[in-house]
Amino acid sequence: MNYKIAVIAGDGIGPEIVREARKVLDVTGKKYNFSFDYTDLLMGGASIDVNGVPLTDETIEKAKASDAVLMGSIGGDAKTSPWYRLSPDKRPEAGLLKLRKSLNLFANVRPAYLYEELKAACPLRDEIIGDGFDMVIMRELTGGLYFGERKTVEENGVKKATDTLTYTEEEIRRIARRGFDIAMKRRKKVTSVDKANVLDSSRLWRSVVEEVAKDYPEVTLEHMLVDNCAMQLVRDPKQFDVILTENMFGDILSDEASMVTGSIGMLSSASLNETKFGLYEPSHGSAPDIAGQDKANPIATILSAAMMLRFSLDLDEAADAIEAAVKQVLKDGYRTGDIMSEGCTLVGTAKMGDLIAERIQ
């Protein structure tokens, strides 16, 4: 079987980490008798340099024509890059927001799992870590504050900025159903995170989630205010199974969750629409300070590729093989700099990709 994969390497470390993910995918395909046709696309700063805009309509159409999209990272140094002297709608991140909206990628799935071998890299105390933790953050991705109306005006000589947070009940219902569906395949618990003590949007969120929960009697639902959830993630992360939340809260909480796993370089993600189509990318940024130095951790991108096999292509056995290979490499003591600990072997980006590929073969 052959699959069409759109590849957006992006900026900074993006090309390096995507190269390793493709290496691992190709080895996995040979073992399990499938192959890929890759189409390289530009987005973010790379697209600005060539096309003058962070995302072209042609790129959107080519992405839609693929079976899935594999992405590295976009953006640069906001202080020094010329990209950030452009208006906000022309900057690299605007391309990603537009792509998500154009492809209707409303459901962002971010696993946060603490590997036994990386407990030393976790900043939490041993008594908090216990036997480890394994959660999924389900973040609504195409609504809320990031996509609401915004403006900056000057009134009586004073500048005023306004950002609008809007959700419809249907936007909430569809992400809630995805969250409960995933919970049914895990430990059957959903923690819905909002700010219902203050925000009308959160009160609607809570009401709709409770309606959806009635269709999933086997799943335990709890509500948690976002500030309490941020505290609980560092106080007792193992209490969580599926965290269901809106766009901005999910953005913040998933980064916090990534750090309690030891490094954001370990956190994969999938952004899905209402079909099997998805965009797969690491949760970290473009890290321009280490770009081109063979220092970046490619594991999050490699695990994102495994999620692509699982969610979009129904290749569960191959996805299992990649995840097992990552665990084995960590068990064998190999580490990139961000997860390095005493007694382990330090390797670069390319070597880490080689090691994972070897264990699949």
Q: Which residue in 282, 289, 336 sits closest to 306, CA to CA? A: 282
Strand partners, 190: 221, 242
Tell me, yes or no, if 255 is annotated catalytic.
Answer: yes
Candidate list 251, 280, 334, 338, residue with the active-site label: 251
CA distance 78 to 179: 34
Candidate list 90, 101, 189, 195, residue with the active-site label: 195
Tell me, yes or no, if 11 is annotated catalytic.
Answer: no
| First vs last C-alpha separation in the chain | 19
Question: How many other CB atoms are found less than 10 A from the CB of residue 47?
Answer: 22
Query: Pairing mode, if any, of strands 242-245 and 35-41?
Result: unpaired
Helix (H/G/I), strand (E/B), else coil: 278 = strand
- The interaxial angle of helices 349-360 and 14-32, nearest 10 deg, is 10
CA distance 84 to 75: 9
CA of 319: how far to CAs of 34, 71, 314, 325, 337, in Å?
Answer: 13, 17, 9, 10, 25
Strand partners, 7: 40, 70
From edge to edge, which strands make up the β-sheet containing 35-41? 35-41, 2-10, 68-73, 278-282, 268-272, 107-113, 134-140, 242-245, 189-194, 220-225
Position of tokens 């969580």? 240
Position of tokens 């900025």? 161
Candidate list 146, 167, 216, 334, residue with the active-site label: 146
Q: Which residue in 74, 13, 10 sits closest to 290, CA to CA? A: 13
Tell me, yes or no, if 195 is annotated catalytic.
Answer: yes
CA distance 72 to 304: 10
Tell me, yes or no, if 316 is annotated catalytic.
Answer: no
Tell me, yes or no, if 40 is annotated catalytic.
Answer: no
Query: Pairing mode, if any, of strands 68-73 and 278-282?
Result: parallel
Candidate list 227, 236, 289, 332, residue with the active-site label: 227
Candidate list 134, 181, 255, 294, residue with the active-site label: 255
Q: Which residues does the annotation mark as catalytic?
A: 146, 195, 227, 251, 255
